[in-house]
């Protein structure tokens, strides 16, 4: 297996709070007309990914067999109806859109999750996979801006290192957090899994995109996956990206 390493020219500018600037009235990262009226290819397996709202919108639109523009136009009214029926109740927004479109969404062929990890050699994850018990977030933004979602900042410091350091550093006189940060690199690992039952991933993605359309976030749009003691196999790893340098490692497939 070969590994492809790409290094973008420069990371995008970020505000002091770590958020990427974008214009009002448009999804973050959404350029004019980009992907708004594309036809849906029903012969291609549909993968649900949420690295950002635009990609998530495109995937959801494919599941509903409509264009991204059509789905974006229906989401505000669907969100209003869902809130009237009980807010973030399971499936409320999905059902509202299904009624408006006259059909339920398809089930994605796979769902991608994002896992925060501090790695000594990031590229090895492509060969070895992830350890048992890894947790993944459906929405990558939860890892990049955890404070907005009430989540722990795993890219600031590993939770285990913080807990151990609080107990042992004063006793041993060692700064475990500093040693960890010097020896490892904070990374985001994207991996694939089978879809969750009952369209749970679709529900979370819909709330995420609906909130992004109005310039906000939704904790109902977090979603997630827990391995529960099962490792993530190497062939299910999609990519590994170092957050500080934006260096990315991927399996080099002929189609890429």
Band of pLDDT at residue 193, cut at 50, 70 and 90: very high
CA angle (196, 201, 203) in 5-degree steps: 130
158-183 burial string, b = 16+ CB within 10 Å, else e?
beebeeebeeebeeeeeebbeebbee
> Pairing mode, if any, of strands 47-48 and 110-119?
parallel
Residue 130's beta-bridge partner residues?
Answer: 232
Q: pLDDT band at residue 224, thresholds of 50, 70 and 90?
A: confident
Q: Pick the residue with more confidence: 9 or 65?
A: 65
Model confidence at 37: pLDDT above 90? no
pLDDT value of residue 170: 52
For residue 194, name the pLDDT band (cuts at 50, 70, 90). very high
Pick left, alpha or beta for residue 113 (phi over 0 → left; psi -120 to 50 → alpha; otherwise beta): beta
pTM: 0.76
Nearest alpha carbon to residue 192 among 111, 101, 98: 111
pLDDT tier at 174 (50, 70, 90 boundaries)?
A: low
pLDDT interval class at 244 (50, 70, 90):
confident
Tokens of 151: 């989540």
Cβ atoms of residues 251 and 3 within 8 Å: yes
Is it the case that residue 163 has pLDDT exceeding 90?
no
Least trusted range by pLDDT, from 84-93, 181-190, 245-254: 245-254
In this prediction, residue 222 carries a pLDDT of 82
Write down the domain spans for the chain.
45-251
Closest CA to 214 of 16, 94, 75, 14: 75
């Amino acid at each position: 297996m070969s590994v492809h390493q790409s290094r973008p020219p420069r990371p995008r500018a970020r505000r002091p709070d770590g958020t990427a600037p974008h214009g009002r009235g448009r999804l973050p990262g959404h350029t004019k007309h980009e992907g708004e009226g594309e036809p849906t290819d029903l012969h291609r397996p549909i993968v649900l990914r949420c690295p950002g709202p635009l990609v998530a919108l495109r995937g959801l639109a494919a599941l509903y067999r409509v264009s991204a523009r059509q789905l974006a136009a229906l989401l505000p009214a669907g969100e209003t109806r869902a809130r009237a029926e009980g807010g973030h109740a399971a499936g409320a927004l999905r059902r509202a859109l299904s009624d408006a479109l006259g059909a339920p969404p398809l089930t994605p062929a796979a769902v991608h999750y994002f896992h925060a990890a501090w790695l000594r050699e990031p590229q090895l994850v492509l060969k070895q996979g992830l350890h048992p018990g890894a947790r993944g977030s459906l929405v990558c933004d939860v890892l990049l801006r955890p404070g907005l979602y009430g989540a722990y900042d795993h890219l600031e410091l590993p939770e285990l290192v913080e807990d151990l350091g609080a107990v042992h550093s004063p006793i041993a006189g060692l700064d475990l957090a500093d040693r960890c940060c010097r020896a490892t690199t904070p990374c985001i690992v994207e991996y694939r899994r089978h879809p969750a039952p009952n369209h749970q991933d679709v529900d979370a993605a819909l709330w995420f995109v609906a909130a992004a359309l109005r310039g906000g976030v939704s904790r109902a749009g977090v979603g997630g996956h827990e391995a529960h003691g099962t490792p993530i196999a190497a062939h299910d790893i999609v990519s590994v990206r170092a957050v500080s340098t934006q260096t990315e490692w991927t399996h080099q497939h002929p189609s890429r």
